[in-house]
Chain A
Amino acid sequence: MSSARYLEISKMGKTFPTDTGGFEALRDVQLTIQQGEFISLIGHSGCGKSTVLNIVAGLEQASVGGVILEGKHINEPGPDRAVVFQHHALMPWLTVYENVELAVAQVFRGSKSAAEMREWILHNLNLVGMGHAADKAPHEISGGMKQRVGIARCLAMEPKVVLMDEPFGALDALTRAKLQDSVMAIQAELKNTIIMITHDVDEAVLLSDRIVMMTTGPAATIGEIVEVKLPRPRDRLALAEDQQYNHCRHQVLEFLYSSDDDNSEELEPSATIESVQTAVDVSTDDTVIKNSSNQAA
């Protein structure tokens, strides 16, 4: 953790123009992120999480305040803040390899030779376990695999900050758990700085160093920040019984459910996730579930 003020979101606000004068989505968002930190943004639908992420990505502009990365103000998108999109966003007309290549060829133009680029692309595909599918088209692989390729494309840009917009939201629980484990392993190895949007309380606690909880809009802002001081590497099975883990979970749930009762149904009920987690850990890499405790329940 070399720099304590690696990424700084400073007094940021966003107002969208509307016919009736403007809708203030965000107000006074203030957050400092250390290098190598894993941050989750959690909050109800429409609270402006995605807007925060898009502004950090440079895809949208803040109306007031702004984002500073390594002392530099951000006002446009760039590969140093690569995004993993919720719906993978792979070009369907390119193969898995070509999708990663599109990014690598642009980012490392002039700094890597053709052979080095090839090696780098395959290295990143192997990192997410997709080396075997390099020549497949996106429609030939499953949703989880597509998201893995999306992550490989993102990592291949060697971003300073990885931005993930509900990266596992569109996946089934089993696939999601596996991808979470992959992301944890990769982050342990590469020490990426990550900001992730999520709706899933367990996911947030399991993966994050800090969980940033946002109030419900309009004029949404950061409500509370929960620090997750669990040691890494984290094991989801062991954590299910862990007091600190459950305490963190409880803090997040309390914040979310007390802030607004109307929108709470979109948050994942945690019980089903837990039981699935047990199953996932017992099964190894294949999806066969040998011991599913949820069936006994």
Chain B
Amino acid sequence: MSVTTADSSSAGTASPVASSKSRIGDFVAAKLFFPTFGILLFLAFWQIVAANIVTSLGAFPGPAEVWTQSKNLVVEHQEQRAKAEAFYERQEKRNAARLEKDPDAPVKIRSYTGKPTFFDQIFTSLYTVAFGFVIATAIAVPLGILCGLSESAYQAINLIIQVFKPVSPLAWLPLVTMVVSAMYVSDSPMFEKSFLNSGLTVALCCLWPTLINTTVGVAGVDRDLVNVSRVIKLGSITHVRKVVLPSSVPLIFTGLRLSLATGWMVLIAAEMLAQNPGLGKFIWDEFQNGSSNSLGRIMAAVITIGLLGFALDQLMLRLQRWLSWDKQAVVR
């Protein structure tokens, strides 16, 4: 066995085996032990505090109660799915029987109208936020590039950005609702109005972080690189594609991640306030419902919202790593 190792940090004193062991040990400590320890501490704290808070709906749910309610939510979902399947099966049989008697009989196919389950609401929230986020990105990135490239465009838009940026989503909601009701009139609408209301409110709040960060990123492209582009006389589209965009990817993504996080928070609030389908409505319904299980179910929803928000951010990180030219960059 060789004494020299690739690991120069543990210089000389440790043997190769010991040093690789200690590296694994460091990794376990950093990635497993401390997070687990933190979570356990938090759960213990939560349990103790929860037991001491009594509300009109019973004791505040501790971790165990939330876990039970989470399992109930899964069971309810499965029951609803089974019911739906049974419904479609019955309908199919009925129609088949009717056609057998008379091939010309009118066949009616109805969709199942059960109560949306917790998981249906999650799905609704996810694609609503995606809709709003995509719209915001499609506007904010090109506009940000324009503002970053042209000082006059920036001066023209800057004040508007500064004024609208701090506006709460809930202030937009009534306006969006009224505008959608008035403008979106169709016999066979592609989207539900409530979906548009939530989605557009999310978009209005998602715009700003992406817009501002893209502007800063584009304006901050290295002077030398811009001069190279000027000497070569690159056309503006090539200039943006080959010089500006690769250089501002990190800041654009910082903006996108901030936007998505904002959008996700805004969405829950909008759904609660406007009774639009989604996780926000789930929470509000449980709150109005007032059963002894409600608080546990709301807490389960709260944790779900947190986990999904985290997952969305991780998704953006992956996307950034995939799109960025600089694979060495530490992205966190």
Contacts and interface: CB of A to CB of B under 8 A. Distances in A.
A57 B231 contact: yes
B83 interface: no
Contact of A83 (B227, B238, B328): B227
Most chain-A CB neighbours within 10 Å: which of B230, B238, B328? B230
Interface string A87-108: 1010111100000001100110
Contact of B325 (A57, A77, A93, A103): A93
A7 interface: no
B246 interface: yes
A43 interface: no
Interface in A103-148: 103, 106-107, 139
A46 interface: no
Contact of B231 (A83, A91, A93): A83
Interface of B is mostly: helix
B170 interface: no
Contacts of A139: 328
Given A93-B246, A93-B325, A81 B231 contact: yes
A14 B3 CA distance: 65
A78 B231 contact: yes
Contacts of A77: 227, 230-231, 233
A82 B231 contact: yes
A255 interface: no
A58 B227 CA distance: 10
A93 B224 contact: no
Nearest to A78: B233
B225 to A, nearest CB: 6
B228 interface: yes
A102 B230 contact: no
Interface in B68-108: none
B39 interface: no
A79 interface: yes
A288 B238 CA distance: 43
Contact of B230 (A59, A92, A93, A157): A59
Nearest to A104: B232
Contact of B242 (A78, A82, A94): A94
Nearest to B242: A102
A85 B233 contact: no
A167 B224 CA distance: 13
A102 B325 contact: no
B240 to A, nearest CB: 13
A92 B247 CA distance: 9
Given A91-B242, A94-B242, A102-B242, A85 B224 contact: yes
A83 B225 CA distance: 11
A56 to B, nearest CB: 11
Contacts of B243: 91
A89 B246 contact: no
Given A78-B231, A107-B232, A93 B225 contact: no
Sorting the interface of chain B by its residue count into under 10, 10 to 19, 20 to 34 or 35 or more gives 10 to 19
Contacts, number: 55
B178 interface: no
A58 B242 CA distance: 22
A79 B232 CA distance: 5
A119 B283 CA distance: 66
B234 interface: yes
Nearest to B246: A93
A59 B233 CA distance: 11
Interface in B212-251: 222, 224-225, 227-228, 230-235, 238, 242-243, 246-247
A259 to B, nearest CB: 29
Interface string A61-92: 00000000000000001110111010101011
Contacts of A157: 231-232
Contact of A91 (B227, B230, B246): B246
B326 interface: yes
A102 B225 contact: no
A129 B326 CA distance: 26
A193 to B, nearest CB: 16
A82 B232 CA distance: 8
B325 A92 contact: yes
Nearest to A86: B224
Contact of A106 (B225, B233, B325): B233
Contacts of B233: 77-79, 106-107
Contacts of A89: 222, 224-225, 227-228
Contacts of A91: 225, 228, 242-243, 246
Contacts of A78: 231, 233
Contacts of B234: 102, 106
Interface of B: 222, 224-225, 227-228, 230-235, 238, 242-243, 246-247, 325-326, 328
16 contacts: A77-B227, A79-B231, A85-B227, A87-B224, A89-B224, A89-B225, A89-B228, A91-B225, A91-B243, A92-B325, A93-B246, A93-B247, A93-B326, A102-B234, A106-B235, A139-B328
Given A57-B227, A79-B233, 9 more contacts: A59-B227, A77-B233, A79-B232, A85-B224, A91-B225, A92-B325, A93-B246, A93-B325, A102-B234
